[in-house]
């Protein structure tokens, strides 16, 4: 991590190219004009990074002076490309999300795998949870749920049926005339509404 808002992956020996990039950034006060050498390794662009931590699951945690905490869950998958603070590959946690302050420095992982971050105003704990938050459409009302195959979940409303995929929180919609899902003891999913439909071979 450097003072110019970059967190950079480098090889075991710093190449002449990465040294030239660093010199160009310092000369231009963190800005990278077009005449600077192009970036060849993974770069994460965050606002004033202060500390780095790789946890036992291989996630990279970054504390900052002004923007809270950032996390990249699998940094090894992101080689050879840049990540900005608006990228979906970069999770952010700030005072808007409940962090005690956006000014963060010390960070550690305890023996249970919890991540502790000290901020200007408190001590915050991050830990794994079995629950994944899923935002339902505002149009959904009188909601009903049922298990689906592969660990997915059916969510029914008066207007649509939505399928939530595993632990990813990703969703897809299935257009149908029924709206209340039910999975019977044999594992067959039914939809009840203005019609009765059965889930079979990828459709109702």
Residue 104's nearest CA partner among 91, 95, 113, 114 is 95
Residue 160: pLDDT above 80? Answer: no
Instruction: Concatenate the DSSP letters of all residues of 94-157 into one string.
Output: -GGGT-S-S-EEEEEE-TTS-EEEEESS-EEEE---S----PPPTT--S-EEEE-GGG-EEEE-
Residue 158: pLDDT above 70? Answer: yes
Q: How many CB atoms lie within 10 A of CB 118?
A: 18
The segment with the largest mean pLDDT, out of 24-38, 97-111, 156-170, is 97-111
Q: Is the pTM of this model over 0.75?
A: no
pLDDT of residue 90: 81
Residue 2's nearest CA partner among 30, 32, 40, 27 is 30
Pick the more confident residue, 9 or 105: 105
The Cα angle at residue 27 between residues 76 and 9, in degrees rounded to 5:
10
Asked if 164 contacts 134 with a C-beta cutoff of 8 angstroms, the reply is yes
pLDDT category at 161 given cuts 50, 70, 90 is confident
pLDDT of residue 98: 92
Residues 76-135: tens digit of each pLDDT: 766 655 665 556 678 889 999 999 999 998 999 999 999 999 999 999 999 988 776 777
């Amino acid at each position: 991590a450097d003072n110019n808002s970059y967190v950079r992956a480098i090889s075991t020996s710093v190449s002449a190219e990465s040294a030239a990039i660093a010199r160009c950034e310092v000369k231009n006060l963190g800005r990278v004009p077009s005449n600077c050498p192009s970036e060849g390794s993974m770069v994460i662009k965050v606002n004033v990074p202060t500390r780095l931590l790789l946890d036992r699951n291989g996630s990279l945690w970054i504390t900052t002076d002004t923007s809270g905490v950032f996390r990249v869950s699998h940094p090894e998958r992101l080689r050879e490309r840049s990540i900005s603070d608006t990228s979906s590959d970069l999770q952010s946690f700030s005072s808007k999300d409940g962090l005690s302050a956006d000014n963060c420095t010390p960070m550690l992982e305890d023996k249970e795998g919890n991540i502790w971050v000290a901020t200007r105003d408190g001590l915050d704990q991050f830990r794994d949870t079995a629950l994944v938050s899923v935002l339902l459409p505002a149009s959904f009302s009188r909601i009903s749920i049922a298990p689906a195959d592969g660990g997915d979940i059916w969510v029914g409303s008066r207007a649509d049926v939505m399928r939530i995929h595993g632990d990813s929180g990703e969703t897809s919609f299935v257009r149908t005339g029924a709206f209340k899902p039910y999975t019977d003891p044999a594992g067959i999913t039914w939809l009840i509404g203005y019609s009765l439909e059965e889930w079979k071979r990828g459709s109702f």
